[in-house]
């Protein structure tokens, strides 16, 4: 007798399906690439092949981001249960693993427009562009909306509350800016997203009415329960997170001017170089200090700090674990643990500054050397916000970040072009630090003393832990020597 290919006893015995929909908004430019090149750009966007223009966010991209976020969340560090495997299925290396219980549809968007960015890879020694290191990306502009659709299956005999808690803990990461990023160059401020509205409906498949409603859901709009919090909507609590994270938010004052060359002019102003601008969620263009500039400047200064400390290979390994490695054959590629958001730069970006190149031998102007810059000029409102998130953070990471913040605070670091004429330098105003590991959960606020510019004010006043992280930096990297 031939065995049947399928029997009811061997099925997953799905007794309930939970449908969740959400409205996702891009908070920063996002590159959802198609993996190809075109005549206009090195990195084009993936779009709906039917009409050739609608933004497309694939279900695979959403699943990958949510799975990674849930994998780093666990009820107890070290326990054998992996919530990510329960919701999204077993790892592909597990031949006996379970399939995913979650269906994620491709999301079609309503575009706010397309933005072009020119990136250049710099030689860390010469600080000039590498050969063939210039390339450009297409990005969906901030404000683009995607409609998300999830369908979760609940099996017979399992703890429904626990499954819903795992599911909600993954989706909740989308409710806070900076927790999950999508697309390319996520650690450099791109792909920041947020869901501000959820809807859900549960279908009991053990009843005729519930099964009939679920079968007809694709034909008619569903009356769904709305909510701003997915945990409240599903009536569950969040899973406790692993206590290994560092968050730093610092506010700086731009001293004079900033010029991050856009690569393409946003206005027909006639200037040779125009400050990079981006479209914000309110539809207006604003000057921006991109995450790529933050990453590059801080990474380069970290190398200088470790060189001064003569840390050698120990310092190099730590920087690779922190900022990631380049994708080259000689090394195993590793993603950066540092995520830095883009920073809006308030100020006057309408003024054009004429400049002239001087011949060092004659002291006069070079022939045809007159050019025009259009930077953003500082005013009293030119406050720049730096937001850093480091996952799986260590005290060594915190010690290094404090040294980097100190150099930024004291105007010892510069961003953009023409830093030799005073552009791109910052002065510290305040900083907020949140650090958690297995032994400590700390929160500190640092302010500049308005009466004495050489002093800083700490809240709480006891900053001994921060001091120890800095003073023990070299000892920790050298294995306690």
Q: Is the pLDDT of residue 50 over 60?
A: yes
Q: Provide mean pLDDT across the span 18-22.
A: 92
Q: Judge whether 327 and 312 are in contact, CB under 8 Å.
A: no
Per the listing, tokens 């929160």 go with 443
Nearest to 197 by CA among 232, 234, 228: 228
Which residues have C-beta within 8 Å of that of residue 15, sequence separation ≥ 6?
154, 155, 156, 204, 205, 206
Q: What percent of the chain has pLDDT over 70?
A: 87
Could you check whether the bond before residue 460 is cis, i.e. omega within 30 degrees of 0? yes
**Structure confidence at residue 127 (pLDDT):** 62
**Structure confidence at residue 328 (pLDDT):** 57
* pLDDT tens sequence across 347-403: 988 888 888 878 777 777 777 678 888 889 999 889 999 999 998 899 999 999 999
Query: Would you tell me the crossing angle of helices 395-409 and 312-323 to the nearest 10 degrees?
Result: 90
Mean pLDDT of the chain: 84
In this structure, the strands spanning 353-358 and 365-374 are antiparallel
Q: Which of 137-151, 302-316, 348-362 comes out lowest in average pLDDT?
A: 348-362
**Structure confidence at residue 218 (pLDDT):** 58
Q: Judge whether 458 and 448 are in contact, CB under 8 Å.
A: no
Which residues have C-beta within 8 Å of that of residue 294, sequence separation ≥ 6?
188, 189, 340, 343, 386, 415
**Structure confidence at residue 306 (pLDDT):** 93
- Burial label for 338, CB within 10 Å (0-12, 13-18, 19+), is buried
d(CA 225, CA 198): 8
d(CA 447, CA 133): 40
Q: Of residues 179 and 412, which shows the higher confidence score?
A: 412
Nearest to 36 by CA among 21, 49, 51, 23: 49
* pLDDT tens sequence across 415-439: 988 777 788 999 999 999 999 887 8
Q: Is the pLDDT of residue 267 over 60?
A: no
* pLDDT tens sequence across 162-187: 999 999 999 999 988 878 889 888 88
Q: Which of 43-57, 61-75, 240-254, 279-293 comes out lowest in average pLDDT?
A: 61-75
**Structure confidence at residue 48 (pLDDT):** 84
Q: Of residues 38 and 321, which shows the higher confidence score?
A: 321
In this structure, the strands spanning 365-374 and 273-274 are parallel
**Structure confidence at residue 99 (pLDDT):** 85
User: pLDDT category, 330, cuts 50, 70, 90?
Assistant: very low
How far is CA 36 from each of CA 33, 137, 318, 339, rounded to the nearest angstrom?
Answer: 8, 11, 33, 26
**Structure confidence at residue 248 (pLDDT):** 95
**Structure confidence at residue 75 (pLDDT):** 44
User: pLDDT category, 329, cuts 50, 70, 90?
Assistant: very low
Q: Is the pLDDT of residue 463 over 70?
A: yes
Residue spans per domain, the chain: 11-234, 245-477
Q: Is the pLDDT of residue 136 over 70?
A: yes
d(CA 276, CA 43): 19
Q: Is the pLDDT of residue 77 over 80?
A: no
How many Cβ atoms from other residues are within 10 Å of residue 190's Cβ?
24
Q: Provide mean pLDDT across the span 101-124.
A: 82
**Structure confidence at residue 266 (pLDDT):** 46
Q: Is 337 helix (H, G, I), strand (E, B) or coil?
A: coil
**Structure confidence at residue 1 (pLDDT):** 58
Q: Is the pLDDT of residue 265 over 60?
A: no
d(CA 303, CA 316): 8
């Amino acid at each position: 007798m031939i065995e049947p290919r399928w029997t009811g006893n061997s099925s997953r015995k799905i007794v309930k399906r939970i449908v969740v929909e959400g409205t996702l908004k891009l908070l920063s430019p996002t590159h959802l690439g198609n993996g190809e090149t075109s005549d206009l750009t090195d990195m084009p966007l993936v779009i709906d092949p039917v009409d050739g223009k609608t933004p497309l966010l694939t279900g695979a991209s959403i699943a990958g981001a949510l799975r990674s976020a849930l994998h780093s969340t666990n009820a107890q560090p070290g326990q054998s249960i992996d919530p990510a495997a329960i919701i999204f299925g077993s790892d592909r290396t597990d031949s006996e693993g379970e399939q995913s219980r979650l269906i994620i549809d491709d999301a079609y968007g309503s575009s706010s427009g397309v933005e072009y960015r020119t990136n250049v890879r710099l030689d860390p020694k010469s600080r000039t562009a590498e050969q063939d290191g210039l390339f450009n990306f297409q990005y969906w502009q901030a404000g683009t909306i995607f409609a998300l659709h999830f369908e979760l299956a609940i099996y017979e005999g399992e703890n429904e509350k626990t499954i819903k808690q795992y599911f909600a803990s993954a989706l909740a990461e989308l409710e806070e800016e900076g927790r999950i990023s999508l697309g390319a160059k996520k650690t450099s401020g791109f792909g920041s997203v947020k869901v501000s509205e959820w809807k859900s409906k549960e279908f009991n498949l053990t009843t005729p009415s519930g099964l009939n409603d679920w079968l007809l859901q694709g034909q008619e709009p569903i009356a769904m329960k709305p909510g701003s919090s997915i945990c409240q909507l599903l009536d569950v609590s969040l899973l406790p997170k692993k206590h290994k994270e560092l968050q730093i938010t610092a506010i700086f004052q731009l001293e004079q001017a900033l010029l991050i060359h856009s690569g393409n002019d946003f206005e027909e102003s006639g200037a040779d170089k125009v400050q990079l601008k981006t479209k914000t969620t309110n539809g207006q263009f604003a000057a921006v200090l991109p995450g790529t500039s933050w990453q590059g400047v801080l990474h380069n200064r970290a190398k200088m700090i470790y060189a001064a400390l003569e840390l050698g290979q120990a310092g190099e390994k730590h920087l690779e674990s922190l900022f990631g490695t380049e994708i080259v054959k000689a090394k195993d590629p590793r993603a950066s643990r540092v995520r830095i958001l883009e920073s809006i730069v308030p100020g006057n970006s309408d003024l054009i500054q004429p400049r002239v190149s001087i011949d060092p031998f004659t002291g006069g102007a070079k022939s045809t050397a007159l050019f025009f810059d259009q930077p953003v000029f500082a005013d009293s409102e030119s406050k720049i916000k730096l937001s850093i998130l480091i996952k799986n953070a260590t005290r060594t990471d915190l010690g290094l970040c404090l040294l980097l913040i100190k150099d930024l605070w004291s105007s010892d670091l510069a961003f953009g072009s023409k830093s030799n004429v005073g552009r791109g330098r910052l002065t510290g105003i305040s900083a907020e630090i949140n650090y958690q590991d297995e032994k400590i959960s700390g929160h500190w606020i640092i302010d500049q003393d308005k009466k004495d510019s050489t002093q800083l004010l700490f809240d709480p006043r006891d900053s001994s832990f921060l001091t120890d992280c800095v003073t023990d930096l070299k000892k920790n990297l050298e294995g306690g020597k």
